[in-house]
Amino acid sequence: MKKKESTLFRDAFGNLHFIKRFLIFTFGCISYNRYNGFNQLKLKGTEYLKNLPDKRVLFVSNHQTYFADVFAMFHVFCSVKNGFINSIKNPIYLLNPKVNLYYVAAQETMNQSFLTKLFTYSGGITVKRTWKEGDKKVNRSVNRSEITRMGIALNDGWLITFPQGTTQAFAPGRRGIVHVIRKYNPIVVPIVIDGFQKAYDKKGIRIKKKGVLQKMKFKEPIQLDLKKDTTDNIMDKIMDAIEQSPKYYRKNNS
């Protein structure tokens, strides 16, 4: 009976569904005009999400702000769950959110305040950066317990991750995500975003500019052969799919 209650009322980490629903609804209402009001969010490719399974799907994306990107993705995934394609114009979807949706975020960022802890409760999987802590450079090995937590999230639903681990454009991808892919073999769906840095500050909380067209493009799942593809091959495919590879760097700087 306890197991059944946990499945019905709590997520895989023990967080209560009714609190998650309330937080997603509240943050969704507060942020709605950022994507469908004084700023706009143009969507492409959400039809690829319709036939995805409800679990073991990993979304990989480039990253432009700490929170605005993720808030926008929550809007999109909740909208798609409720049958809307390439649109977040009907916020009724916030009444029926996707609660088995998780995202990877830096532990130091999510521990900064009570507000960021609420963000974490809504679906954050916190990890320690292996290369940076605050302003200091570090060199940590990948924490296996963090990979396990990502696996728990994948086994319960969808997981969003930002392989670069930074909002800096064209930064190298971090190989920790390949360990997750090899161990749990999820469907890997790329997302490409643009315009968020123009509209918001680095945290994605403060509005810098209004009238910005933000873009979010979903692509077909990346084809991977985990037996033949090397770690570098997989990383290259991911970076190319999220348009952060050297090819796209040259294109944007030509």
136 phi and psi, to 5 degrees?
Answer: -95, 140
Q: Which of 24-38, 61-75, 99-113 has the lowest mean pLDDT?
A: 99-113
What distances in angstroms separate CA 30 from CA 1, 33, 36, 95, 205, one per listed residue? 37, 7, 12, 14, 11
Looking at the DSSP bridge assignments, the partners of residue 59 are: 160, 189
8-12, 71-75, 177-181, range with the lowest pLDDT: 8-12
Task: Reply yes or no on whether the pLDDT at 4 is more than 50.
Answer: no
Least confident of 2-6, 72-76, 223-227: 2-6
Question: Do the bridges between strand 187-194 and strand 57-61 make them parallel or antiparallel, or are there none, so unpaired?
Answer: parallel
- CATH for the 2-252 domain, from 3.30.70, 3.55.50, 1.10.10, 3.40.1130: 3.40.1130
Q: Give percent of the chain above pLDDT 70.
A: 91
Q: Is the pLDDT of residue 230 over 70?
A: yes
Instruction: Report, as an integer, the average pLDDT of 85-102.
Output: 96
**In this model, does residue 207 exceed pLDDT 90?**
yes
Token pair, residue 196, equals 């968020």
Q: Tell me what the mean pLDDT of segment 117-125 comes to.
A: 94
Q: Which of 117, 125, 121, 123 is nearest to 146 (CA)?
A: 125
For the whole model, what pTM was predicted? Answer: 0.91
pLDDT category at 226 given cuts 50, 70, 90 is very high
What are the pLDDT digits (tens) for 22-64?
A: 999 999 999 999 999 999 999 999 999 999 999 999 999 999 9
Domain range summary for the chain, segments of one domain joined by +: 2-252
What residues contact residue 10 under an 8 Å CB cut-off, 6+ apart?
16, 17
| Percent of the chain surpassing pLDDT 90 | 79
pLDDT at 225 > cutoff 90: yes
Mean pLDDT, rounded, for 153-164: 97
- Whole-angstrom CA distances from 33 to 60, 61, 87, 88, 91 are 25, 23, 14, 11, 10
- H-type alpha helices, 63-192: 68-81, 107-110, 114-121, 144-156, 176-184
39 vs 33: CA distance, rounded Å:
7
Reported confidence tier of residue 15, pLDDT bands at 50, 70, 90: very high
